[in-house]
Structure 1
Amino acid sequence: MGLILSILEEKKKIIDRLRSSLDRYAQLKAEKDHHSRRRPRPCGMTIHTGIGCSYGCTYCYIYDMGFPGRVQPYPLSPLELVYALSLNPYIVPRYTLAAYGSVTEPFLPETSKLAIEYIKNVYEWLKLPSQVSTKNVISNDLAKELYYAEPNINVLITLVTLERYRELEPGAPQPRERLKGAKNAIDHGLKVTLFLRPIIPGVTDREAVGILKEAADVGIESIVLGSLRVTPGILKRLESRGIDTKAIIKRLPRYPRNNRDQVTIKCSDIKKRISMMAKDMGFKVFETACAANIYAHNEYCYACDLGPCGNYRKAPRISESDIYEYLEFLKIKHVDIEVKDNRIVIFFKHRIQSRDIEIVRYVLTSITRKRVSLRIM
């Protein structure tokens, strides 16, 4: 049995063990949950620790997506969540990246214990390389719990302003307190990255030097830069807090149609300036959050044009015969396979059902950490 099928066999055994640990009600609950079927995002599989967020950040998109301003713990138990993830056909144990904190603050008082248990159980059962983004203050106790849950977890400390946090992040802890928490995390052996996202023109770019200096002072050595996404609601909220939205609007490729339409502003010039400053100060600069996760876990990835990332010595060794065996197992007829340094190309005579092809692409990309092209001859 080749590497791909052995990994999928391992996944089947995990599913069986989890199923035997849950009663039928818990199984059904997990099977109906979106974690059991949702496709991962480029940063990995986003895992929700709560519904809603009480921080009320002016630039945050979750409120326009319909999430409430008060948080409730996510309704799955840790084992139910892991079972849901194990059923997801896009997720590959040990290879799919896990990302916590995309639609809520994981370490709010209402959700912190559950978040830690999610991280611990997902890593224990599925060994997904984990990353968590937070605006909370990492206490000594929280740092210890995180290290125990996933010793190589990449902790992203979100910080976009030192001076205008009252207008932009009214419910979140003060930025300098977050930096103190970052030092706690570093002192306990955690891999911490400054998350300069979203970059708000006229605010973050003006404060970048100060932010970088204070981050360096507490021992942070790496940084992820990220762009601002806006809706009409976000623009209105920013303007109501005294932010000059003209500097933002002029960078839009188009104006968002409604509050469900998130449009990313163009800020490559700002990113380039901040990146150069950060490198001059000794920071390792990552263009994406997933690159920071790969680096923290000493792994390798060449799945997009921004690669390669991480440690080349850890590049997965996948042969054409492994892929042939996988496709034969799925009864997907193909003509030829090419395995290159940065890409896998699979040739087909006929079109395959779109969902089957999607799953094949995600599984192969996760395991090989290469781009996968599927072509009809």
Structure 2
Amino acid sequence: MIESNEAIRLYELKIRVREELGSILSENSKKKASRDPHSRRKPRPCGITIHPGHGCVFGCIYCYVPDMGFPSSEVKPYPLSSLELVYALSLNPYVVPERTLAAYGSVTEPLLPKLVDKTLSYIRDVWKWLRLPSQISTKEIISEDIAKKLKDYEPRISILITIISINKSKILEPRAPDPLLRLRGAKVASNLGLRVDLFLRPIIPGITDKEYMDILKLAVSHGVKGVVTGSLRVTQGIIDRLKKSGIGINTIVSRLVRNPRSKSDQVPISTSDIKLRVDEYARRLGMDVMQSACAANILSHGMSCRLCSFGSCGMKFYKPSERELREFLEYLGVKVVELVNGDNEFNILIKKSREFSTTWLKYYLSEVYKMKFKVIEE
């Protein structure tokens, strides 16, 4: 192995992790992990979503998770142990150690009392074994005990505190903690040296656009460094719940890009004009402004990324040499016909490989170097 070759180093690291965990876990545990979706699911743009459980008791009326078929009230911890989860991730061909972003909190509230121990154990062992840059999004109150464990388990973890309204929070999020208490938790985490950003998502027209200045000022005063904005996506069920709650929906409906086609069909609301106002005011307050959750994770971990249309994130960009790429492909037994080094993208022409698909090669190289690759067969 050539030590300076990141693609080879990370490829071999993943194999070592898989083999070591395979020697620790029982056959039943390995079978259980290999059947789990974490072992094969392709990451979303924000990273691989890790589920410490299912269900939520907060009853947020704008949440689309119940319409996806997940339980909306009963909270159940995920059946995998932390080592089983890491083993499942080590089997996933799309997960790259030290590079694939890990996101906790997509289909549940990860810090619910029934889930917090499971969540913390997942964060601890995913970082210990695979060093995946982790991010947790929450509406819970971060206690000093939780903050200390987060700091110990994943020192650079990205924390997103969701607040979209203060005045209407009891209507929109009837059983979630008070937003002001969430900010106190943000202050606790920030005081321990953890990076905390505001998750201003979803922006609800008619509500968030009237409160964002107060929310941002309060966030800054509680040690929050930046803001991630995001649009509301609605299903017919969400529209019905908003209407039933007494929230005026005319502004929301007028911004629909199209009508929902079914009960579970998610339709985005146009909020680009509101986002611009939020971004401008946040910059005036000295906040970092990010268009996606993954950008906050990249920033928190001192990484860089040039993969999406939002533009470059981070500062420390590394572009591999042609020699490094050829060495990696030769290491895999893949024959390179031609390699074209563009300004922001590599184009690689290869001989057909029986073992490695062009789809996987493109994905793996893109994850390792966080830049675009195009790989085609001759």
What residue ranges of structure 1 are gaps of 5+ in the alignment? none
Q: Determine if contact 1:154/1:293 at 8 Å carries over to the other structure.
A: yes
**How far apart are the structure 2 equivalents of 1:363 and 1:100?**
22
Matched to 2:123, the amino acid is: I
| Map of 1:356 onto structure 2 | 357
Q: Deviations over 1:318-337 (max 9, x none)?
A: 22233334334545555322
Matched residue, 1:169: 173
User: Considering only aligned residues, what root-mean-square deviation do their CA atoms show, in Å?
Assistant: 1.9
Name the residue aligned to 1:343.
345
Q: In 2, Cα distance between the equivalents of 1:256 and 1:132?
A: 30
Residue 22 of structure 2 is aligned to residue 19 of structure 1: yes
Among 314, 317, 320, the residue aligned to 1:318:
320
Q: Structure 2: which 5+ residue stretches go unaligned?
A: none
| Structure 1 residues 211-253: Cα deviation after superposition (integer angstroms, max 9, x where no partner) | 1111111121211011111111111111111122221222222
Superposition map of 1:187-206 within 5 A = 187-206=191-210
CA distance in 2, matches of 1:133, 1:65: 19
Number of equivalent positions = 374
- Does the residue aligned with 1:346 lie in a helix, a strand or coil? strand
Residue 370 of structure 2 is aligned to residue 369 of structure 1: yes
Within the alignment, does 1:225 sit opposite 2:226 as a pair?
no
Q: CA deviation at 1:316?
A: 3.1
Q: Are residues 1:66 and 2:69 paired? A: yes
Q: How many angstroms apart in 1 are the aligned matches of 2:291 and 2:340?
A: 29
Work out the CA distance in 2 between the residues paired with 1:265 and 1:232.
Answer: 13
Where 2:114 maps in the other structure, the secondary structure is coil
Structure 2 residue identity aligned to 1:50: G
Task: String of CA shifts for 1:191-211, please: whole Å, max 9, x gaps.
Answer: 000000010111111111111
Contact 1:54–1:71 (Cα < 8 Å) also in 2: yes
1:98 equivalent among 97, 102, 106: 102
Look up the match of 1:183.
187
Counterpart Cα distance in 1 of 2:160 and 2:43: 19
CA distance in 1 between counterparts of 2:116 and 2:349 reads 47
Deviation at 1:171, TM superposition (A): 1.5
1:357 to 1:262, Cα distance in 2 relative to 1, 3 A: farther
| 8 A contact 1:65–1:259 mirrored in 2 | no
Identical residues among aligned pairs (%): 48
Distance in 2 between residues matched to 1:123 and 1:302, nearest whole Å: 23
Report the Cα distance in structure 2 between the residues aligned to 1:344 and 1:78, rounded to whole angstroms.
37
Q: Could you say what secondary structure the match of 1:177 adopts?
A: helix
Is the 1:7–1:93 Cα contact (8 Å) retained in structure 2?
yes
- The answer as to whether partners of 1:303 and 1:342 remain within 8 angstroms in 2 is no
Structure 2: how far apart are the matches of 1:203 and 1:336?
55
TM-score calculated relative to the size of structure 1 = 0.95
SS in 1 for 2:212: helix
Secondary structure at 1:197 match in 2: strand
Q: Is the 8 A contact 2:359 2:375 kept in 1?
A: no
* Alpha-carbon displacement from aligned partner over 1:73-121 (angstroms, at most 9, x marks no partner): 0000000000000110000001111111011100000000110010000
- Alpha-carbon separation, structure 2, partners of 1:20 and 1:40: 26
8 A Cα contact 1:316 1:367, kept in partner: no
- Tell me the CA shift for residue 376 of structure 1: 6.5
Tell me the distance in 2 between the aligned counterparts of 1:293 and 1:167. Answer: 30
SS of 2:45 mapped into structure 1: coil
Shift of 1:311: 1.9
Q: TM-score, normalised by structure 2?
A: 0.94
